Amino acid sequence: MAVAEELGVEVDVVLYMKEPPGADLLARIAAGLDGPVEDLVRKDSQFRKLELVEDDYVGDAEAVVELLARRKALLQRPVLVRGDLSGDGPLVACVGRPRDKLYEFIGG
């Protein structure tokens, strides 16, 4: 958010824990992702506590979408998306880590 403000760009913030994206939207984000689909998954303490295996998600958009639809807290953040989230058209998406990716995606 701070990067967008710094660059003078208006953004909509989706509070994904209150309004989690459904499987269809997650699939559209995964399809439009600039980078490996497994980057959408946080590999944090919850990931390890659930005894998940990173390799199970490498290059497997369906597995990533299924996991994130069930475990919204594992969605990496921030995820930046261009396009109509409420529609069914293609999206362009980027995981904003490292921070430099935010500037590239926003155009700064």
What the chain holds in terms of domains, given with CATH numbers, is 2-106 (3.40.30.10)
Dihedral class, residue 48 (left if φ above 0, else alpha if ψ from -120 to 50, else beta): alpha
As given in the structure block, the two tokens for residue 43 are 């590999």
Does residue 42 contact residue 76 with C-beta atoms inside 8 Å? yes
Calculate ∠ Cα 23-68-45, nearest 5°: 175
Q: Tokens 């209150």 sit at which residue?
A: 18
Picking from 97, 99, 49, 89, the residue whose alpha carbon sits closest to that of residue 71 is: 49
pLDDT (tens digit per residue) in 26-66: 999 999 999 999 999 999 999 999 999 999 999 999 999 99
pLDDT at 108: 52
pTM of the model: 0.89
Least confident of 63-72, 74-83, 99-108: 99-108
pLDDT at 100: 85
